Amino acid sequence: MSTDARGSHKAGRSLAARLRGGLQALAANPSIRGIAGVLVLKASMMVFNFALIALAANVLQETQFGIYSILFSAVGLVGIVATVGQQILLMRSWNEYSANNDAASLKGALRFSAVLWLAGTMVAACIFYFWADASYGAALARAATVYLVLYAATQTTAHLLRASRGVGIGDGYGNLLPVLPAIGYLTYDLATHSTADVSTVLLLLAGGSAIGLTVHAFVFRRHLSARFPEYRTIRPRGEVRVWAGRSARLWLSTGLEAANQFLDVIVMGILTTPAIAGGYFVTTRFANIFASASDGMHLFASRHVPDLYYRREYENLSRILNLIALMLAAMIAVGVVGIALGGKFVLGLISADYVQYFPALIVLCLGTAAAAAAQPCAPILMLTGHEGRYLAIIATSVLLRVGGFFLLVPSYGIMGAVTASALSFVILAGALSYSAHHLAGFDGSVLRLLRRNTDTPQPLAAG
C-alpha cells in the first residue's frame, strides 16, 4: 500500500472514530437523553391524538364530528380554567420547597391546591353542564361533564408528577391512557361499519382519564413517602395569602393560554356551522405538529428550569436552554418542510373534503411555528415569579386572535381565522422572547442562538 493510500485510510479511520466518539458522548449526555425521551413521548402522544381525530372524522357523521370537536375543545378550555392555576402552582411549590427540604410548607401548599382545585372544578362543572345541556342535550352534557372533571384532575396531577418524578410518568400516563379506550371503540366501529355515538366516545375518554388518575395517585403517594418520610406527622405551614395571589395570576394566565388553544374552535362553531368548525378543528390539530414539538421542549424545560433556577445552577441552566433552542430550531425547520410537501396528502387521508383547507394549513403553520420557537419562555416567566407579565402577554394574544376572528371570519371563513391566529402567534412569540430575556435573564426562545452568552440571571420576583 502506498504512503498516500495509508494516510487516507488512517484519516478515514480517524474521522470514523471521531464521529463514533461524538455520538457516544451525545448518548451519554443526560440532557440529550432527557430531550430524546420527551420527544419520543410527544411523538407517541401526537400519533395517538391524530389516530383519535382521524377515526372520529371517518366514523362519526359530519355534523356529529363537528359537535364532538366543539365539546372536546370546550372540555380542554374549561378543564384548564377549572384548576384555578394549581397546575403551575404545584410545580413551583414542589421545586421551591423540595430544594429547601421544607416539608411543612410543601404539605400546606398541597392542601391549599387540593381545596382550591376541588372548589374550582365543581363550579366549572356545574356551569359547563348547563351550557352543554342547553346546546346539545342531557346525554351529551352528562358525558362531557364527567370527562371534564376527570380531565381536569388528570392534567393537574400530571403537572405534579412531572415536577416530582419526571415527564414520562406524569405526562405519559396522563395523556396516553385517556385516549386508548376511545381509539379502541372507534377502530371497532370502523372495522364493523357500526354507528358511533359521541357520548360514548366522551365517556370512554373519561374512563381512560380515571385510569391515568389512579396511576398518578399511586405513584405520587409512594414517592412522597420516600422523599419526606416524616410527611404524615409533620404540621403543615401555610402562606395562604401568597399562594392565593400566585393562584389568581396563574389561573388567568393558564386560562388564557387554554383559550388560545381551544377557544377558536368554539368561536368557529358560533360564527359558522358545526361542519365548518369540524374542518377548522382538523386543520388546527394538524398544524399543532409545531405545538407538539414545542410542547416537548416545554415539558423538558418546565421539568428542569425551575429546579436549576432555585438551586442557582445558572451555567447548567444556560447550557440546557441552548440545547433546547437548537433542538427546537431543527424540529421547526423539518416540520415546515414536511407540511409543505406532505400536508395535502395527510389531509386527504383523513377525508377528501379536507384537502381544500391546505392553503389555510400553510398560513396557520407559519404562525404556530413562530409560537413554538418561543414556547419555552412561558415556563421561565411563570416559574420564576413573572406570571404577571406572562398574563399580560397571553391576554393580549387572545384578544387579538378573537378580535381577528369576529373581524375576518364572516367574510373570509377559515382563511380569515387562520390569518388572525397566525398574526397573534407571531406577536406572542416576540413578546415572550423579549420578556424572558429582560425580566428573568434567560431567553428560552430560538432567538437566544443569535445572542449567545448574554444570560444575566435575575433574582426571583416577589410573590
In terms of Cα–Cα distance, which of 374, 377, 428, 383 is closest to 401? 428
| Spatial contact of 296 and 42, defined as CB atoms under 8 Å apart | yes
Residues 280 and 384 in one domain: yes
Q: Is residue 270 assigned to a domain?
A: yes
- For residues 278 and 210, what is the distance between their CA atoms, to the nearest angstrom? 27
Q: Is residue 321 assigned to a domain?
A: yes
Domain end marker among 238, 260, 289: 238
Q: Is 49 exposed, middle or buried (0-12, 13-18, 19+ CB in 10 A)?
A: middle
pLDDT of residue 147: 95
Residues 402 and 453 in one domain: yes
C-beta neighbour count of 301 within 10 angstroms: 26
How many domains does the chain contain in total?
2
Q: What is the pTM of this model?
A: 0.66
pLDDT of residue 182: 93
Q: Domain limits at 332?
A: 241-463
Domain end marker among 185, 210, 238: 238
Sign (positive or negative) of CA dihedral 233, 223, 292, 302: positive
Q: Is residue 352 assigned to a domain?
A: yes
Residues 217 and 280 in one domain: no
| Spatial contact of 249 and 189, defined as CB atoms under 8 Å apart | no
Q: Is residue 25 assigned to a domain?
A: no
Q: Is 277 exposed, middle or buried (0-12, 13-18, 19+ CB in 10 A)?
A: buried
Domain end marker among 208, 238, 268: 238
Give me the DSSP letters along 240-289: HHHHHHHHHHHHHHHHHHHHHHHHHHHHHHHHS-HHHHHHHHHHHHHHTH
In terms of Cα–Cα distance, which of 215, 190, 192 is closest to 201? 190
- Which amino acid does the sequence have at 20? R
Residues 206 and 270 in one domain: no
Residues 163 and 279 in one domain: no
C-beta neighbour count of 159 within 10 angstroms: 23
Rg over alpha carbons for the chain, rounded to the nearest Å, is 23
| Spatial contact of 211 and 177, defined as CB atoms under 8 Å apart | yes
pLDDT of residue 19: 44
Sign (positive or negative) of CA dihedral 322, 324, 326, 328: negative
| Spatial contact of 282 and 60, defined as CB atoms under 8 Å apart | no
Residues 223 and 315 in one domain: no
pLDDT of residue 128: 95
Residues 74 and 184 in one domain: yes
pLDDT of residue 146: 96
Q: Is residue 441 assigned to a domain?
A: yes
pLDDT of residue 290: 61
Residues 318 and 454 in one domain: yes
| 73 Cα distance to chain centroid | 14
Q: Is residue 1 assigned to a domain?
A: no
User: What grid cell was written down for 263?
Assistant: 377557544
Q: Is residue 313 assigned to a domain?
A: yes
pLDDT of residue 327: 80
pLDDT of residue 138: 93
Residues 249 and 380 in one domain: yes
Helical H segments across 288-437, by residue range: 289-310, 314-350, 358-374, 377-383, 387-435
In terms of Cα–Cα distance, which of 180, 357, 144 is closest to 266? 144
Q: What is the DSSP letter of 229?
A: T
Residues in the chain with pLDDT values less than 70: 1-39, 41-42, 260-261, 288-304, 452-455, 457-463
- For residues 175 and 267, what is the distance between their CA atoms, to the nearest angstrom? 25
- For residues 265 and 275, what is the distance between their CA atoms, to the nearest angstrom? 11
Q: Is residue 184 assigned to a domain?
A: yes
In terms of Cα–Cα distance, which of 130, 120, 145 is closest to 199? 145
Residues 256 and 341 in one domain: yes
Scan for cell 408528577, then name that residue.
161
Residues 252 and 210 in one domain: no
pLDDT of residue 22: 46
Residues 228 and 309 in one domain: no
- For residues 113 and 240, what is the distance between their CA atoms, to the nearest angstrom? 10
- Which amino acid does the sequence have at 456? T
User: What grid cell was written down for 300?
Assistant: 423538558
User: What grid cell was written down for 199?
Assistant: 357520548
